[in-house]
Amino acid sequence: MLMPTPTPILRNAMTIDVEDYFQVSAFAPYIARSDWDARECRVERNIERILALLADRKTKATFFTLGWIAERYPHVVRAIVDQGHELASHGYGHQRASDLTPAEFAQDIGRAKKLLEDLGGHEVLGYRAPSFSIGEGNLWAFDSLLAAGYRYSSSVYPIKHDHYGMPDSPRFAYPVRDGLLEVPVTTLRLFNKNLPSSGGGYFRLLPYAVSRWLIAQVNARDQQSAVFYFHPWEIDSEQPRIAGIDGKTRFRHYVNIDRTHDRIAQLLSDFAWGRMDEIFLGAQTQAQIRRVQA
Q: For residue 194, what is the enclosing H or E element?
A: strand 193-196
Region binding Zn ion by CB under 5 A among candidate stretches 9-17, 181-189, 210-218, 271-279: 9-17
Q: How far is the CB of 259 from Zn ion (least distance, A)?
A: 21
Residues 13-42 that bind Zn ion (CB under 5 A): 17, 19
Q: How far is the CB of 132 from Zn ion (least distance, A)?
A: 9
Beta-bridged to residue 87, according to DSSP, are 63
Nearest to 67 by CA among 113, 16, 102: 113
Q: How far is the CB of 19 from Zn ion (least distance, A)?
A: 5
Beta-bridged to residue 152, according to DSSP, are 126, 181
Number of residues that bind Zn ion (CB under 5 A): 3
For residue 198, the number of C-alpha atoms closer than 13 Å in the C-beta half-sphere is 31
d(CA 165, CA 98): 12
Region binding Zn ion by CB under 5 A among candidate stretches 11-19, 103-111, 205-213, 248-256: 11-19
CA of 97: how far to CAs of 91, 93, 103, in Å?
Answer: 9, 11, 11
Residues 122-141 that bind Zn ion (CB under 5 A): 130
Contact 42, 21 (CB under 8 A): yes
d(CA 110, CA 171): 27
Q: How far is the CB of 62 from Zn ion (least distance, A)?
A: 14
Region binding Zn ion by CB under 5 A among candidate stretches 12-20, 32-40, 96-104, 262-270: 12-20
d(CA 264, CA 108): 31
Residue whose CB is less far from Zn ion, 17 or 236 = 17
CA dihedral angle for residue 85, residue 18, residue 121, residue 116, rounded to 10 degrees: 150
d(CA 97, CA 109): 10
Nearest to 13 by CA among 67, 81, 86, 66: 86
- Show Cβ contacts of residue 25 under 8 Å, excluding neighbours closer than 6 positions: 94, 96, 130, 131, 163
Q: How far is the CB of 25 from Zn ion (least distance, A)?
A: 7
Q: How far is the CB of 86 from Zn ion (least distance, A)?
A: 17
Residue whose CB is less far from Zn ion, 63 or 271 = 63
Q: How far is the CB of 231 from Zn ion (least distance, A)?
A: 7
Residue whose CB is less far from Zn ion, 43 or 271 = 43
Q: How far is the CB of 245 from Zn ion (least distance, A)?
A: 17
Contact 267, 53 (CB under 8 A): no
User: Which residues would be at the binding site for Zn ion (CB under 5 A)?
Assistant: 17, 19, 130
